[in-house]
Structure formats: structure tokens, C-alpha cells
Structure 1
Amino acid sequence: MDGQLIAFTGVAAGMVALPGADFTVVVRSALASRRAGLACALGVACGLLLHTALAVAGVAAVLAAVPTLFRAVQLAGGAYVLYLGVRTLRTLRAQSAGVTDRAEAAPRPLRQGFLTNALNPKAPLTFLSLLPQFVPAGSAAVPRTLLLALIVVALALVWFPAVALLVDRLGRWLRRPKAARAVTLATGTALTLLGSGLLLEPLWAA
């Protein structure tokens, strides 16, 4: 592995591990069950695969060149994350009443993980700006970019399932009534704030 690939792997690992909507939705799903957490983690990785494929294809450049389209995608992503946040917070009422419905806590986790990542418009622009920096001059751009993209997806396939398994391992403690309400409140609030931020950012920039 050359020096540039090592450097890129370090940068990409930091990007993947950075807490955000992906991390929060995986934690939320893993609290429902190990299976749901792993399915959500796989969905996030599939979303990253979509973004990297779009970056390689140059579609991300279109988003960068057409601000209106970028804002539309950003609003859609923000609305979806906000919806997940509000839905998570609504489960607090059931938890307070002593009702625990794991199916309601994480419906269709694979789809949720995928959409949470796929509807993040900043991801393809990040890849578009980052990947070319690690393509050596004179080398074939597409094969190298595909290799870099696969590294990102591989890191996601390690990190997010690890998060899901850790949350599930701590599940006995995290699913105690008080702890469960605290985690639900934290994840719901985080998703709501992240979604609100994505919705407000294009309005401020307008």
C-alpha cells in the first residue's frame, strides 16, 4: 500500500467514525435488536456505496454546479432525518407508559440506514473534493477513484456494525427503563437537531 493510500485510509476512517445522523440512527436501531442494528449499518454502507459511485460518475459535480438541485436534495435529506428524530421522540410516551415495542423502535432499519446516508447531499460533495487529492498525477483516475471509494465502504462495513454490536452488547443496561428513555431522548434530540440544521442551512444560504 502506497503512502497516499495510507493517508487516505486515515482521513476516511475519521470521516466515517465522525458522529452524525448515520451513527445516531445505527445506535437507535441497535437498541431495538442486534439484527436491526446490523441491518441499519449495512444500509448506511450501501448509502456510502451510492455516494462514491456517484462521485466516480461525476454526478456529484452536477450537484455542486446546480445550487437549486443541491438545496432540494438537502431539504429532502433534512426532512427525512427530522422525521426520524420526531418519530424517535414520540416513542418516549410509550416508554413512559411501560410499553416496549421494538418493531416500532426500528421499522425497516436497512431502508432507514440507506436513506439517512443517501439523502445527505454533503457526502457526494465531500467525496468529490477529497478523492481527487489522492489520485497520483499521471495515473488512471477512474480505477484509482474506485479503489478509494471501496476503502470508504469497507471502513463503513467495519465501523457501523461494530457500533451496532457494542450497543447490543450493552443492551441489558441500555434497555433499562431509565437508561432507555435517556438514550431515546438523546438520539431523538440529535436526529431532530441534525435534521433541523439541514433544513435551515439552505434557507440561510438563500
Structure 2
Amino acid sequence: MDAQLVAFTGVAAGMVAVPGADFTVVVRNALVSRRAGVACAIGVAAGLLVHTALAVAGVAAVLAAVPALFRVLQVAGGAYVLYLAVRALRSAARAGTLPGSEPVARGGGLREGFLTNALNPKASITFLSVLPQFVPDGSPAMPRTLLLAAVVVALALLWFPVVALLVDHLGNWLRGPRTARVVEALTGGALGALGVVLVLEPLVA
């Protein structure tokens, strides 16, 4: 048994499952419809594929070496998360509209999931620092890191669709007028807090 691969799988599962912006946008889209939630989940996994590919290629090292570029990408990601927060809060406050019931444009959930994840440059840096620790001494680095990257993406493809389907399963309760507004308000607040952190951190650093 490959003990290092097993250990990495556990670490990666924890990284994927920790609630954050990805989890929040998947929940919000799943409140709209099962299709939107699953599409958003796939978008998040696609964003992780970008980050793991960057780490494997070593491009993430460039982000770490050029702070200005890293800050620009971080502010852009924070701005997008803030945009999603404003949408959620407006939906919660809109009179006569059930939060989570607004239609999603074709590909909207997929796009939201992808951009929310892909615009977070910290993910690339995280994978760049974590992946090498699970490459055995003397083993070719490229095949091993590709395998580790595939594990991360596979875990995301398992976890986030499950979250979307669970939210959809509880949809009748979660989409009740009062509950849905609370969910939208909490979602908007969580995204807003994450967005503010992403935007302000590089500006005050």
C-alpha cells in the first residue's frame, strides 16, 4: 500500500471539504435547481484542475516569486466573490421574490463555480507547497504530481456534487420563504466576508 498516497488523500479530502467560497456558491446554486448546483460543483472541480495543473507545471512558483501579480489576482478573485455576495444579499432582500428561485442563465452555475475557485491564487500556492511533500525520494516528480493532482480533482468531483444533491434533497424545506431568505442572507454574508478578506489582505500587506 502506498502510505504517502493514502496520507495525501486524507489531507486533500480535508482541504476540499472545508467550507469556504466554493461550498457557499454550490449551496446557493443548488437552491436554484439541482442542475445549477451540480453544474456549479463541476465548475469548482474544473477550477481545482487549473490550480493543480499550475502547481504541477511550476507556474504557481511564478505567482509566489512575483508578489504584485499575486496581489492583482487575489484582488480580482475577491472582487468576484463580493459580486456574488451582493447578488445573494439582494436576492434575500427583494420583496416578493423567493430567494434561490431566480432563473440561472445557461452555464451560469458552471461559470460561477469555476471563477470562484480559479480566481483564488492561494489555491495554486497551497498545492505547490503540499504536492512535493508526497513525492517519494527518487521517484519521477511529474508522474507522481499528476497522480496527486488527479486525486484532488476526483475528490472535488465527489464532494461538491454530493453537497449539491443534498441541498436539492432538502430543497422543500430550504426553499421555504423564511428559511430561503435566511440561507441567502447567510450565504451573502459569508461570501462578503471572504471577499473583503481577499481584497484587503494584499492591500494592507
Scaled to the shorter chain, the TM-score interval is over 0.9
Q: What is the correspondence of 1:1-206 to structure 2 with a 5 Å cutoff?
A: 1-94=1-94, 96-99=95-98, 101-103=101-103, 108-205=108-205
Aligned-residue Cα RMSD (Å) equals 1.4
Whether the 8 Å CA contact 1:31–1:171 is kept in 2: the answer is yes
Q: Normalization by structure 2: what TM-score?
A: 0.96
Identity fraction in percent = 71
Aligned length, in residue pairs: 204
User: How far apart, CA to CA, are the structure 2 residues paired with 1:85 and 1:76?
Assistant: 14
User: How far apart, CA to CA, are the structure 1 residues paired with 2:74 and 2:187?
Assistant: 21
Gaps of 5+ in 2: none
Q: Normalization by structure 1: what TM-score?
A: 0.96
TM-aligned CA deviation for residue 103 of structure 1:
1.0
Gaps of 5+ in 1: none
User: How far apart, CA to CA, are the structure 2 residues paired with 1:139 and 1:99?
Assistant: 55
TM-aligned CA deviation for residue 203 of structure 1:
1.2
User: How far apart, CA to CA, are the structure 1 residues paired with 2:199 and 2:106?
Assistant: 23
User: How far apart, CA to CA, are the structure 1 residues paired with 2:6 and 2:104?
Assistant: 42
- List per-residue Cα deviations over 1:2-55 (Å, max 9, x = no partner): 000000000000000000000000000000000000000000000000110111
User: How far apart, CA to CA, are the structure 2 residues paired with 1:190 and 1:159?
Assistant: 20
**What is the SS of the residue equivalent to 2:103?**
helix
